[in-house]
Amino acid sequence: MRKVTAGLFIALDGVVENPQDWHFPYFDDEMGAAVDAQLGSADTLLLGRKTYDSFAGAWPERETAGGPDASMAKALGDARKIVVSNQDHEFTWRNSEVLKGELIEAVTVLKNERGGDIAMSGSVSVVRQLLDAGLLDELHLLVHPIAVGKGMRLFEDGAPTIPLRLLSSKTFRTGVLNSVYAGRRSRPTAIISAAR
Protein backbone atom coordinates (compact mmCIF):
# COMPACT_ATOMS: atom_id res chain seq x y z
CA MET A 1 0.00 0.00 0.00
CA ARG A 2 1.29 3.45 -0.91
CA LYS A 3 2.07 5.96 1.83
CA VAL A 4 0.45 9.41 1.88
CA THR A 5 2.50 12.19 3.51
CA ALA A 6 1.66 15.84 4.04
CA GLY A 7 4.12 18.66 4.74
CA LEU A 8 3.13 22.00 6.21
CA PHE A 9 4.84 25.18 7.35
CA ILE A 10 3.15 26.09 10.64
CA ALA A 11 3.58 28.88 13.20
CA LEU A 12 3.69 28.30 16.96
CA ASP A 13 0.08 29.43 17.25
CA GLY A 14 -1.04 26.85 14.67
CA VAL A 15 -1.40 29.26 11.74
CA VAL A 16 -0.73 27.69 8.34
CA GLU A 17 -2.20 30.42 6.12
CA ASN A 18 0.02 32.59 3.90
CA PRO A 19 3.39 31.14 4.97
CA GLN A 20 5.03 33.30 2.31
CA ASP A 21 4.43 36.23 4.70
CA TRP A 22 6.39 34.75 7.64
CA HIS A 23 8.24 31.61 6.57
CA PHE A 24 11.19 32.74 4.43
CA PRO A 25 13.46 34.20 7.18
CA TYR A 26 13.66 30.64 8.58
CA PHE A 27 14.36 28.80 5.34
CA ASP A 28 17.85 27.30 5.11
CA ASP A 29 19.61 24.17 3.85
CA GLU A 30 18.32 22.05 6.75
CA MET A 31 14.72 22.94 5.98
CA GLY A 32 15.30 22.53 2.25
CA ALA A 33 16.58 19.01 2.84
CA ALA A 34 13.54 18.17 5.00
CA VAL A 35 11.14 19.45 2.33
CA ASP A 36 13.04 17.58 -0.40
CA ALA A 37 12.92 14.35 1.63
CA GLN A 38 9.15 14.55 2.09
CA LEU A 39 8.05 16.07 -1.21
CA GLY A 40 10.77 15.34 -3.74
CA SER A 41 10.88 11.59 -3.16
CA ALA A 42 7.23 10.98 -4.08
CA ASP A 43 6.15 9.96 -7.56
CA THR A 44 2.64 11.41 -7.08
CA LEU A 45 1.60 14.79 -5.67
CA LEU A 46 -1.90 15.36 -4.30
CA LEU A 47 -2.65 19.07 -4.21
CA GLY A 48 -5.56 21.36 -3.54
CA ARG A 49 -6.33 23.76 -6.38
CA LYS A 50 -4.80 26.85 -4.74
CA THR A 51 -1.59 25.02 -3.89
CA TYR A 52 -1.45 23.57 -7.39
CA ASP A 53 -1.91 27.02 -8.95
CA SER A 54 0.88 28.39 -6.75
CA PHE A 55 3.24 25.53 -7.63
CA ALA A 56 2.39 25.62 -11.35
CA GLY A 57 3.07 29.35 -11.36
CA ALA A 58 6.59 28.94 -9.97
CA TRP A 59 8.20 25.51 -10.39
CA PRO A 60 8.17 25.17 -14.23
CA GLU A 61 10.03 28.50 -14.50
CA ARG A 62 12.55 27.37 -11.88
CA GLU A 63 13.17 24.18 -13.82
CA THR A 64 13.73 26.14 -17.04
CA ALA A 65 16.01 28.68 -15.29
CA GLY A 66 18.35 25.89 -14.16
CA GLY A 67 19.15 27.47 -10.79
CA PRO A 68 20.00 25.72 -7.52
CA ASP A 69 16.47 24.30 -7.12
CA ALA A 70 16.16 23.08 -10.74
CA SER A 71 16.53 19.42 -9.73
CA MET A 72 13.64 19.75 -7.25
CA ALA A 73 11.62 21.59 -9.91
CA LYS A 74 12.26 18.75 -12.38
CA ALA A 75 11.25 16.11 -9.80
CA LEU A 76 7.99 17.98 -9.15
CA GLY A 77 7.38 18.40 -12.87
CA ASP A 78 8.00 14.72 -13.57
CA ALA A 79 5.71 13.58 -10.74
CA ARG A 80 2.08 12.77 -11.41
CA LYS A 81 0.07 15.71 -10.06
CA ILE A 82 -3.51 15.09 -8.96
CA VAL A 83 -5.51 18.23 -8.20
CA VAL A 84 -8.46 18.22 -5.80
CA SER A 85 -10.94 20.67 -7.29
CA ASN A 86 -14.67 20.96 -7.93
CA GLN A 87 -14.05 23.32 -10.85
CA ASP A 88 -12.95 22.71 -14.41
CA HIS A 89 -9.25 23.31 -14.71
CA GLU A 90 -6.97 23.84 -17.69
CA PHE A 91 -3.56 22.44 -16.83
CA THR A 92 -0.37 23.94 -18.21
CA TRP A 93 2.09 21.96 -16.06
CA ARG A 94 2.95 18.51 -17.40
CA ASN A 95 1.59 15.34 -15.79
CA SER A 96 -1.36 17.14 -14.17
CA GLU A 97 -4.91 15.85 -13.83
CA VAL A 98 -7.99 16.49 -11.74
CA LEU A 99 -8.98 14.01 -9.01
CA LYS A 100 -11.89 11.96 -10.24
CA GLY A 101 -14.66 11.18 -7.77
CA GLU A 102 -15.16 11.85 -4.08
CA LEU A 103 -11.94 12.61 -2.15
CA ILE A 104 -11.93 9.81 0.44
CA GLU A 105 -12.93 7.11 -2.03
CA ALA A 106 -10.46 8.33 -4.68
CA VAL A 107 -7.53 8.53 -2.24
CA THR A 108 -8.35 5.05 -0.95
CA VAL A 109 -8.06 3.80 -4.54
CA LEU A 110 -4.80 5.75 -5.06
CA LYS A 111 -3.26 4.23 -1.92
CA ASN A 112 -3.97 0.76 -3.27
CA GLU A 113 -2.45 1.40 -6.71
CA ARG A 114 1.11 0.42 -7.53
CA GLY A 115 3.67 3.17 -7.14
CA GLY A 116 5.71 5.20 -4.72
CA ASP A 117 4.70 7.66 -2.04
CA ILE A 118 1.94 10.22 -2.51
CA ALA A 119 3.01 13.60 -1.13
CA MET A 120 1.10 16.75 -0.26
CA SER A 121 2.24 20.26 0.51
CA GLY A 122 -0.11 22.87 1.91
CA SER A 123 -3.66 21.99 0.83
CA VAL A 124 -4.91 22.29 4.43
CA SER A 125 -8.57 21.38 3.81
CA VAL A 126 -7.49 18.18 2.02
CA VAL A 127 -5.04 17.34 4.84
CA ARG A 128 -7.82 17.77 7.41
CA GLN A 129 -10.17 15.44 5.55
CA LEU A 130 -7.53 12.75 5.04
CA LEU A 131 -6.47 12.94 8.70
CA ASP A 132 -10.08 12.56 9.80
CA ALA A 133 -10.60 9.59 7.47
CA GLY A 134 -7.40 7.88 8.65
CA LEU A 135 -5.83 8.03 5.18
CA LEU A 136 -2.85 10.28 6.00
CA ASP A 137 0.13 8.14 7.00
CA GLU A 138 2.55 10.93 8.00
CA LEU A 139 2.14 14.59 8.90
CA HIS A 140 5.40 16.56 8.56
CA LEU A 141 5.16 19.84 10.48
CA LEU A 142 7.86 22.49 10.21
CA VAL A 143 6.99 24.52 13.31
CA HIS A 144 8.37 28.05 13.03
CA PRO A 145 9.31 30.02 16.17
CA ILE A 146 6.83 32.79 15.46
CA ALA A 147 3.26 33.55 16.53
CA VAL A 148 1.46 35.00 13.51
CA GLY A 149 -1.70 35.94 15.42
CA LYS A 150 -4.19 35.65 12.57
CA GLY A 151 -5.10 33.32 9.76
CA MET A 152 -6.32 29.79 9.18
CA ARG A 153 -5.04 27.21 11.62
CA LEU A 154 -4.36 23.56 10.89
CA PHE A 155 -6.91 22.40 13.46
CA GLU A 156 -10.09 24.43 13.79
CA ASP A 157 -12.16 24.87 16.94
CA GLY A 158 -14.68 22.08 17.21
CA ALA A 159 -12.71 19.73 14.93
CA PRO A 160 -12.80 16.04 15.82
CA THR A 161 -10.10 14.66 18.10
CA ILE A 162 -7.36 13.00 16.04
CA PRO A 163 -4.69 11.07 17.94
CA LEU A 164 -1.21 11.20 16.36
CA ARG A 165 2.04 9.46 17.23
CA LEU A 166 5.42 11.27 17.12
CA LEU A 167 7.84 9.47 14.79
CA SER A 168 10.73 11.94 14.86
CA SER A 169 11.63 15.44 15.92
CA LYS A 170 14.64 17.63 15.15
CA THR A 171 15.37 21.26 15.93
CA PHE A 172 17.08 23.22 13.16
CA ARG A 173 19.66 25.96 13.75
CA THR A 174 16.96 28.56 12.95
CA GLY A 175 14.79 27.30 15.82
CA VAL A 176 12.35 25.57 13.47
CA LEU A 177 11.15 22.25 14.86
CA ASN A 178 10.77 19.50 12.26
CA SER A 179 8.26 17.03 13.72
CA VAL A 180 6.92 14.00 11.88
CA TYR A 181 3.75 12.35 13.17
CA ALA A 182 2.05 9.12 12.17
CA GLY A 183 -1.64 9.50 11.47
CA ARG A 184 -4.07 7.04 12.94
CA ARG A 185 -4.54 3.86 10.99
CA SER A 186 -7.04 3.94 8.18
CA ARG A 187 -10.55 2.96 9.02
CA PRO A 188 -11.60 -0.43 7.68
CA THR A 189 -12.94 -0.30 4.12
CA ALA A 190 -16.43 -1.30 5.30
CA ILE A 191 -16.64 1.79 7.50
CA ILE A 192 -15.47 4.07 4.66
CA SER A 193 -18.01 2.46 2.32
CA ALA A 194 -20.82 2.85 4.86
CA ALA A 195 -20.02 6.54 5.34
CA ARG A 196 -20.64 7.39 1.66
Q: Answer yes or no: is pLDDT of 192 > 80.
A: no
Q: What are phi and psi of 10, to 5 degrees?
A: -140, 140
Element (H, E) at 133: helix 124-133
User: pTM of the full predicted structure?
Assistant: 0.89
Mean of per-residue pLDDT scores for the chain: 91
Q: What is the model's pLDDT at position 87?
A: 84
Q: Rounded CA gap, 27 and 157, in Å?
A: 29
The predicted pLDDT at position 193 comes to 34
Can you list the domains of the chain with their CATH numbers?
A: 4-44+98-195 (3.40.430.10)
Q: What's phi and psi for 75, nearest 5 deg?
A: -60, -40
Per residue in 1-49, pLDDT (tens digit) is: 999 999 999 999 999 999 999 999 999 999 999 999 999 889 999 999 9
Collapsing DSSP to helix, strand or coil, 59 comes out as helix
What average pLDDT does range 79-105 have in this prediction? 93
- Indicate whether 188 pLDDT > 90: no
